[in-house]
């Protein structure tokens, strides 16, 4: 548990509304406007030890609405330049939020390509920066997932190896803070569920280092696979960092689900857009009704049989599926035709992630096809609590059905980290967490 933050027993639902698209600074602005302390982001940035880099948040208006504007500073000056109300112009015609399009610029293998000026940061160097930092393990791991997925999307879009992908120097600073800050924000808020409605990607074309491209440009379009989108004008409204946040952080894409609303936050983009506020709204509340009644119990069940994958490949396959957002994955021994032993691979996912995860299953397993069907799943109510043990604080996941306790399980990663730090067996930390929970009257 972070110093000074009380453990939160009842996790809440959060919902994103993106009528003006999404960028990293807008997401963080909405979290801050909802009451999250700026120190959550500032502390994470400080642990990266980036020279001259700091953050600020201030109240601002867009389209006549009051909200919060989050900015990254380099030597005390905004990385993006001053906002329009500060005499900073309109931010250019290529992006409604004022972010540089395609913070990642592909460099040709074997040397700098035409879009790499020699002053960028490679994806590997950013991963090393995060990996060697003092960030909490959960924030570090989420940040690495966000950057790896963003880098892979840019590499595919430009037909280069992911190792040759570089961030423009200033764009790298902006993106590092936005993505690491978002990882820290999610770890602080710990939503029971993050949902999002349709996303406005903008319209027309956008000026990039590769010339004018239609909106959304290739990398953002790849990251938005499975996301319900529409074109509403205003130029390019979803940045690559915004797209990867949607792809990685959102549990379900649906219009505002039933909730008892407890708060709203408005995060502003850099400039004004004619006709509507350049803002994203984040709503927080308590879930109403049973999961199925709220439409959140629907899952896709995907299956395929495999008889020619080495044993190590199955471990890698499960890891990749779960990292990519599968709700569950498991293996069952089966007997195939001609009495060959095989393995039935089953994965569960949200219906909107079906095509993406099915494609990953085929690519990683070598299977020639798979079958799927949709099913209803009765989902228990879930919450996360923190308990104090002699080794440190451990998060514990608890499940209830109709108010009746079902089960509780200490977070594996917390127990693993504390066990390594204390030099004790993992099961001792795990048992201590369960004992602490029982002492508090938990299941």
Please count the CA atoms within 13 angstroms of the CA of 342 that sit on its side-chain side.
17
Q: In whole angstroms, what is the distance from residue 141 CA to residue 54 CA?
A: 22
Cα 33 from Cα 264, distance rounded (Å): 8
- In this prediction, residue 290 carries a pLDDT of 40
pLDDT in tens, 392-418: 999 998 887 766 777 888 998 899 999
- Is residue 239 within 8 A of residue 99, CB to CB? The reply is yes
Q: How far apart are CA 224 and CA 245, in angstroms?
A: 10
DSSP-derived pairing of the beta strands 252-253 and 193-200? parallel
Q: And the tokens for 285? A: 């509340």
The pLDDT assigned to 115 comes to 36
97 vs 91: CA distance, rounded Å:
8
Whether residue 256 contacts residue 193, with contact meaning beta carbons closer than 8 Å, is answered with: no
Closest C-alpha among 135, 184, 214 to residue 27: 184
Q: So what's the pLDDT on residue 60?
A: 92
Low-confidence ranges of the chain (pLDDT < 70): 1-10, 87-120, 167-171, 209-210, 289-297, 402-403, 442-443
CA distance 162 to 152: 6
Tokens of 309: 């994958």
| Phi, psi dihedrals of residue 328, rounded to the nearest 5° | -165, 155
Evaluate whether 184 touches 140 at the Cβ level (below 8 Å): no
The CA distance from 434 to 432, in Å, is 5
To which residue do tokens 């990039």 refer?
208
The helix (H) or strand (E) run that includes residue 267 is strand 259-268
Distance CA(81)–CA(91), nearest Å, equals: 8
Domains defined along the chain, listed by start: 13-287 (no CATH), 298-376 (3.30.70.1380), 381-439 (3.10.20.300)
The tokens 């977070």 sit on which residue? 411
Pairwise CA distance, residues 258 & 103, whole Å: 37
* pLDDT score recorded for residue 47: 96
């Amino acid at each position: 548990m972070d110093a000074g933050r009380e453990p939160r027993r009842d996790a809440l639902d959060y919902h994103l509304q993106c009528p003006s698209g999404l960028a990293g600074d807008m997401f963080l602005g909405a979290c801050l406007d909802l009451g999250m302390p700026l120190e959550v982001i500032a502390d994470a940035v400080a642990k990266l030890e980036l020279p001259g880099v700091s953050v600020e948040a201030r109240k601002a208006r867009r389209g006549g609405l009051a909200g919060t504007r989050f900015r990254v500073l380099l030597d005390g000056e905004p990385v993006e330049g001053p906002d329009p109300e500060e005499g900073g112009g309109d931010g250019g015609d290529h992006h409604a939020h004022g972010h540089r399009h395609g913070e990642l610029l592909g460099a040709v293998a074997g040397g700098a390509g035409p879009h790499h000026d020699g002053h960028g940061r490679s994806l590997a160097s950013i991963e090393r920066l995060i990996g060697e930092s003092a960030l909490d393990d959960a924030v570090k791991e989420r940040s690495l997932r966000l950057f790896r997925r963003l880098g892979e999307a840019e590499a595919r879009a430009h037909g280069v190896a992911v190792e040759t992908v570089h961030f423009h120097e200033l764009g790298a600073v902006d993106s590092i803070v936005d993505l690491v800050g978002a990882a820290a924000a999610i770890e602080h808020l710990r939503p029971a569920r993050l949902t999002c409605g349709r996303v406005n990607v903008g319209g027309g074309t956008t000026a990039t280092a590769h010339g004018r491209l239609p909106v959304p440009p290739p990398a953002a379009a790849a990251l938005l696979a499975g996301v319900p989108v529409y074109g509403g004008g205003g130029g390019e409204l979803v940045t690559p960092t915004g797209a990867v946040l949607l792809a990685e952080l959102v549990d379900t894409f649906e219009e505002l689900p039933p909730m008892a609303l407890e708060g709203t936050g408005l995060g502003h983009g850099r400039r004004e857009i004619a006709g509507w506020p350049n803002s994203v709204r984040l709503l927080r509340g308590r879930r109403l009704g049973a999961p199925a009644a709220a439409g959140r119990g629907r899952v896709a069940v995907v299956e395929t049989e495999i008889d020619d994958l080495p044993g190590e490949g199955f471990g890698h396959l499960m890891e990749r599926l779960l990292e990519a957002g599968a709700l569950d994955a498991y293996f069952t021994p089966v007997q195939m035709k001609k009495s060959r032993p095989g393995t039935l691979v089953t994965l569960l996912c949200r219906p909107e992630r079906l095509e993406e995860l099915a494609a990953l299953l085929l690519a990683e397993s070598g299977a020639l096809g798979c079958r799927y069907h949709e099913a209803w799943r009765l989902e228990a109510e879930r919450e996360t609590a923190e308990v104090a043990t002699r080794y440190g604080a451990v998060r514990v996941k608890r499940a209830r059905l109709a108010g009746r306790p079902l089960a509780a399980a200490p977070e594996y990663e917390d127990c693993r980290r504390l066990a390594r730090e204390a030099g004790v067996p993992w099961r001792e930390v795990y048992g201590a967490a369960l004992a602490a929970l029982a002492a508090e009257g938990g299941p």
